Amino acid sequence: MHTHETELRVRYEETDQMGVVYYSNYLVWFEVGRAECIRSLGTSYKEFERHGVHIVVAEAYCKYQFPARYDDVIIIRANLSEIRSRSMKYMYKVLRKADRKLLASGYTTHVFVDKNGKPMKIPKWVLGYIKKKN
């Protein structure tokens, strides 16, 4: 299904004393990739929340293949790979832009909840944005 690529540059804050990017930051980058993937559908996650639709993370997985380093330009390739009535799954690839070397890959699964945290079905208008592109 819909795939989108986002670029970002590694911040000094994201490195650790091994001289590489600390492992939890890849999950932050996944979130950036997800948000830009949603924006590329013509809406935004901010818009979802404004209408009381919250997407919470149920699972996250990352396989680290090669370290990202300070000042590298990184491509986050986010792919909405599954949509069910109450959940969805994103798959990611993290590439170094200079040579498109694969640095990491992973996935996140999500459930939809309302503003009180109660699980809900994906609203039709959200589905409308997703279907247009798939």
Residues in touch with its own copies (CB under 8 A): 11-13, 15-20, 22-25, 27-28, 31-32, 35, 44-46, 54, 56-64, 67, 70-71, 117
Distance CA 4, CA 78 (A): 5
Residue closer to its own copies (CB basis): 11 or 86: 11
Residue closer to its own copies (CB basis): 15 or 79: 15
Alpha helices, H only, the chain: 25-39, 45-50, 124-132
List CB contacts of 126: < 8 A, sequence separation 6 or more.
Answer: 43, 48, 53, 112
Are the CB atoms for 94 and 76 separated by under 8 Å?
yes
Q: Catalytic: 72? A: no
Least separation, in Å, of the C-beta of 3 and its own copies?
Answer: 20
Distance CA 82, CA 107 (A): 11
Residue closer to its own copies (CB basis): 23 or 125: 23
Least separation, in Å, of the C-beta of 97 and its own copies?
Answer: 15
Assigned token pair, 58: 């149920």
Least separation, in Å, of the C-beta of 83 and its own copies?
Answer: 20
Active site residues: 16
